[in-house]
Structure 1
Amino acid sequence: MMLSPADLLRMNPFALMRRMTEEMDRVLGEVASGRRGNGPMVWAPAIEVEKRGDNCVIRAELPGLKPEDVKLEVTDGAIIIEGERKEEQEENREGARMSERRYGYFYRSIPLPEGADPEKARAKFENGMLEIAVPVQKQEEQRRRIPIESAEKAEKANRAA
């Protein structure tokens, strides 16, 4: 879906960054999935991001992995999920084999909303699903009205000063 310049101006920066990240992940995922050479393949796990209570909750699908296969870090304003899914090696493979599973290095950077406190983040891993909860302080919008003067009135005020 294309966004008009007016849409870009109306979106909050967090939503815009998430949209750009999702689009880049989609494009890079298409490129990586088409690559079937001998080199390592990079893939990005599917994620969901939602606001749940006072938390930003990030869920990442990582089937077949264990917590020790995943590295979770926080940087300025983002959570980084990375690791590697190694292909199982079977010695006595016979016949045809077809696999749609993705192996190799994976990486995902998820921007956090303003007010997020990554120092208090908690993560759990269960049944191939990584869930990260990051507390978010409610941000009050700082907004005030700016009066608009006519050019004549502003010019008179400047002369008087």
Structure 2
Amino acid sequence: MQSIPMTVRGEELLREELNHLKKVVRPQIVADIAEAREHGDLKENAEYHAAREQQGFCEGRIQEIEAKLSTSQVIDVTKMANNGKVIFGSTVTIVNVDTDEEVTYKIVGDDEADIKNNLISVNSPIARGLVGKELDDSVNIQTPNGTVEYEIIEVEYI
């Protein structure tokens, strides 16, 4: 089975969600089912069916998180010597050679990706173009508007 790369923060977030699902959501669903059962006939009991459906979603998410955590490889770049190379978990500042527009991305696992917060998946086209490159390298990245040339101006292991 292939291991899933994950940052320390990504693992923390998944563990927090798992804990919340097991200690808060699951007991609430069980209470909702018990209360709905008291209303009598289960065939036409919408609250009961809704609670059972919610239970299915909750248990499915718990299993999904546990599977991801069991196959995850947590990578803490803060414990690595920064040699200027772009790796999983690093924070990279690039500048568009044509427009001088700067952007900073942190390369993270699929679950952590959030473009609004400049967290990009290691499997995204931008990250694939950056990983393995080094500070001051020029890279050509395929975008929806064509190929764009960027220069790597900062690589941080934070």
For normalisation by structure 1, the TM-score amounts to 0.27
Task: Judging by fraction of residues, say which structure has more helix.
Answer: 2
Q: Which has the larger radius of gyration?
A: 1
